[in-house]
Amino acid sequence: MFKLTQKGLSLNPVTPLHVFAREIGSRLLSFLRFVGGFSLLCLQIGREIFERPFYPRLIVQQIMTIGVQSILLVSVTALATGSVMALQFGYGLSKFGGKLYVPKIVAMAILREMGPVFTSLLVAGRIGSGIASEVGSMKVTQQIDAIRALGTSPIKRIVIPRLVAALIALPILTLIADYIGIFGAMLVCMKDLAINSEYFIAKSIEALEMKDILTGMAKTVVFAFFISVTACWKGLETEGGTQGVGNSTTWVVVTSSIFIMISDYFLTKFFIITIYPR
Amino acid sequence: MMQIEQPTKIALDVKNLYKSFGDKAVHRGVSFQLLEGEILGLFGGSGTGKSVILRSIIGLEHPDQGEIIFDHTNIVGLSESRLIRIRTQIGYVFQNGALFDSLTVEENLAYPLREHTALSDREIQKKVNRMLELIDMKGSNHLFPNELSGGMQKRAGLARAMILEPKVILFDEPTAGLDPVNTKRLLDNIKNLKKTGITGIFVTHDIPSAFEIADRIAILYQGKIQVIDTTENIKKSKDPLVQSFIQGASH
């Protein structure tokens, strides 16, 4: 392979190794750019979050968008997840005579893992993309510039309300998802596994502790922070018109989802070491 | 008795501005002064950095070098928090209006008043209505930007930039993309505002509009202000650069 330059055909061959190295280099640069931009944005948030003026109305608006409007999606997904888990565990464990452990296992799995992770993934899809596309559109239509030119701060008006709303809404959505997921599991246990509701509730309560709920919610606080700040950063960095907005949206959903899955492992490990009984 | 001419005050002093984007040097020592009470038309080819000058003045771009003196303060290098005071005194009319699309026209116009004044809702409403009347958009209070024509969006953007009664207004190609009727209407709006003694910079490709509005004209070419003179002198000028701009406009 040869490279076409302004001077004509260069004799320096462009080998697949060059292409590979360039691709790796460019990805590394993008990653560093993201890490730097994300950190700077966090610093700006830290500087401005406690300074006047405050915009409680914008936070309430965002809680409605991020939280209230996600309840249906989260509820349906949690109901389906809880039901399917009960069904799978029920049929799987019945082979070993362990059907009666289903309430304990399902409740613990939902509270510690499935509730927080599924809810966060849904929110990353729905809200992460929503924030990135909204802020990105504002950027390409100069509305972000207008906020600054009018003597106000995009961090205060755009980023902080979305961050605070996500930090409030996501743990609450997770709590709702936890209860609905367990309710779904209970319905399946009653209908398909011949486990009555009293037994299900008693065993679930026996297995669960407050720390299971709290650690699950603590995970979602980390996820909410990452999803909202990443989406805002990418939105504010958007360039290239409508195509740029589309690219930003996709990037946020992919990056947030990967972050949720990877950080969930480390957070779980951290909780196992520090909080859960050994 | 001999009359002593009062020296005209300088509203904005741009000194030796340099700005590059990557390898591309856009400004290579831009210098000019904006006098109080005048409108300065700023001409230049596409991509010569006319809008970048305006964006630098309001702190949306950071020049690599140089000074922009406004109200005894050098704007270049000021932090965002210190720029807030400057931005309440310099209005910026964006090319496409840049109205907030989630807010109505009334909310857009009220935005600077709510942020920077302690006016009551009633006073804000009164001020917004007066401004809407001035730009011939009476009764458009509750329309959203997507319900407005391009011309109306620009006029609403002009009203929003003017509502805090800033000392200097920056017009970034306000007539671009407008039909002749809307261009005339917008220019009439600006002329009405001019009667109130506004000071501003009018960046445009639209030479006839600039001749109609501006007191002086500056031409940005090869990264510098090459010519700056009164509109009358520019019209009469034999300078090939000036001619190329004027004749380009007449073709």
Here the tokens at position B243 are 């001619």
Nearest residue to B137 via CA among B173, B204, B145: B145
Q: Chain A partners of B51 at a C-beta cutoff of 8 Å?
A: none
Number of helices and strands in chain A (H, E): 12, 2
Decide if A141 and B96 are in contact by the 8 Å CB cutoff: yes
Q: How many CB atoms lie within 10 A of CB A244?
A: 16
Question: What integer is the mean pLDDT of B29-38?
Answer: 93
- Closest Cα in chain A to B110: A150
Decide if A146 and B94 are in contact by the 8 Å CB cutoff: yes
**Domains in chain B, number:** 1
Distance between CA atoms of residues A145 and A188, nearest Å: 54
Q: Chain A partners of B101 at a C-beta cutoff of 8 Å?
A: 141, 143
Decide if B87 and A151 are in contact by the 8 Å CB cutoff: yes
Distance between CA atoms of residues B26 and B50, nearest Å: 9
Residue B211 in domain: yes
Average pLDDT over all residues of chain B = 89
Distance between CA atoms of residues B164 and B167, nearest Å: 9
The answer to whether B65 and B102 have CB atoms below 8 angstroms apart is no
Residue A53 is given by DSSP the state: P
Name the more confident of B124 and A215. Answer: B124
pLDDT of residue B198: 87
Residue B111 in domain: no
Here the tokens at position A145 are 């510039």
Q: Chain B partners of A130 at a C-beta cutoff of 8 Å?
A: none
Residue B12: φ, ψ to 5°: -150, 130
Nearest CB to A142: which of B80, B87, B98?
Answer: B98
Write the pLDDT tens digit of every residue in A184-201: 999 999 998 888 889 989
Taking chain A, what is the end-to-end CA distance rounded to the nearest angstrom? 59
Q: How many CB atoms lie within 10 A of CB A122?
A: 19
Q: How many CB atoms lie within 10 A of CB B73?
A: 13
The residue with tokens 């001077």 is: A7
Decide if B92 and A53 are in contact by the 8 Å CB cutoff: no
Question: Residue B75 sits in a domain of what CATH number?
Answer: 3.40.50.300
Decide if A151 and B84 are in contact by the 8 Å CB cutoff: yes
Mutate to test the interface with B, among A137, A150, A239 (most CBs of B within 10 A): A150
Decide if A142 and B96 are in contact by the 8 Å CB cutoff: yes
Domain enclosing residue B204, as ranges:
10-103+166-250
Total-model pTM: 0.86
pLDDT of residue A52: 86
User: What are the start-end ranges of the E strands in B6-145?
Assistant: 10-21, 24-35, 39-44, 65-70, 73-74, 90-93
Strands B216-221, B39-44: pairing kind: parallel
Nearest CB to A153: which of B80, B96, B101?
Answer: B80
- Closest Cα in chain B to A143: B98
Residue B17 in domain: yes
Residue B57 in domain: yes
ipTM: 0.89
User: What are the start-end ranges of the E strands in chain B?
Assistant: 10-21, 24-35, 39-44, 65-70, 73-74, 90-93, 168-172, 199-203, 216-221, 224-230
Alpha-carbon distance B93 to nearest alpha carbon in chain A (angstroms): 9
pLDDT of B2 strictly over 80: no
Decide if A142 and B94 are in contact by the 8 Å CB cutoff: yes
Here the tokens at position A170 are 């996501």
pLDDT of residue A211: 85
Alpha-carbon distance A153 to nearest alpha carbon in chain B (angstroms): 8
What crossing angle do the helices spanning A160-192 and A102-109 adopt, rounded to 10°? Answer: 170
Q: Chain B partners of A53 at a C-beta cutoff of 8 Å?
A: 115
Distance between CA atoms of residues A142 and B92, nearest Å: 12
What crossing angle do the helices spanning A160-192 and A197-207 adopt, rounded to 10°? Answer: 130
Q: Is B117 helix (H, G, I), strand (E, B) or coil?
A: coil
Residue B185 in domain: yes
pLDDT of B63 strictly over 50: yes
- Closest Cα in chain B to A51: B81
Nearest residue to A205 via CA among A111, A131, A64, A122: A111
User: What are the start-end ranges of the E strands in chain A?
Assistant: 2-5, 8-13
Distance between CA atoms of residues A178 and A113, nearest Å: 10
Here the tokens at position B141 are 């209070």
Here the tokens at position A94 are 């019945």
Tell whether A47 lies on the interface with B, counting CB pairs under 8 A: no
**Torsion sign across C-alpha atoms A252, A253, A259, A260:** positive
Nearest CB to B98: which of A53, A145, A153?
Answer: A145
The answer to whether A210 and A151 have CB atoms below 8 angstroms apart is no
Largest distance between two CA atoms of chain A: 82
Could you give the percent of chain A with pLDDT greater than 90?
60
- Closest Cα in chain A to B88: A151
Decide if A146 and B80 are in contact by the 8 Å CB cutoff: no
Residue B160 in domain: no
Here the tokens at position A192 are 């398909």
User: What are the start-end ranges of the E strands in A6-150?
Assistant: 8-13
pLDDT of B7 strictly over 70: no
Q: Chain A partners of B60 at a C-beta cutoff of 8 Å?
A: 145, 148-149
Averaged over successive runs of 10 residues, the pLDDT of chain A (278 residues) comes to 52 79 91 94 93 92 91 93 92 85 89 89 91 94 95 94 95 93 92 88 86 88 94 93 90 93 92 79
Write the pLDDT tens digit of every residue in A16-36: 888 889 999 999 998 999 999
Tell whether A72 lies on the interface with B, counting CB pairs under 8 A: no
Residue B44 in domain: yes
Decide if A143 and B92 are in contact by the 8 Å CB cutoff: no
Distance between CA atoms of residues A1 and A208, nearest Å: 63
Decide if B98 and A146 are in contact by the 8 Å CB cutoff: yes
pLDDT bin (cut points 50, 70, 90) of residue B248 is low
Distance between CA atoms of residues A57 and B6, nearest Å: 51
Distance between CA atoms of residues B38 and B32, nearest Å: 13
Which residues, including other chains, have CB under 8 Å from residue A172's CB and lie 6 or more apart? A67
The residue with tokens 């510039």 is: A145
- Closest Cα in chain B to A155: B80
Decide if A148 and B87 are in contact by the 8 Å CB cutoff: yes
pLDDT of B105 strictly over 50: yes
- Closest Cα in chain A to B59: A149
Residue B120 in domain: no
The answer to whether B242 and B249 have CB atoms below 8 angstroms apart is no
The answer to whether B230 and B40 have CB atoms below 8 angstroms apart is no
Here the tokens at position B161 are 């930039």
pLDDT of B1 strictly over 50: no
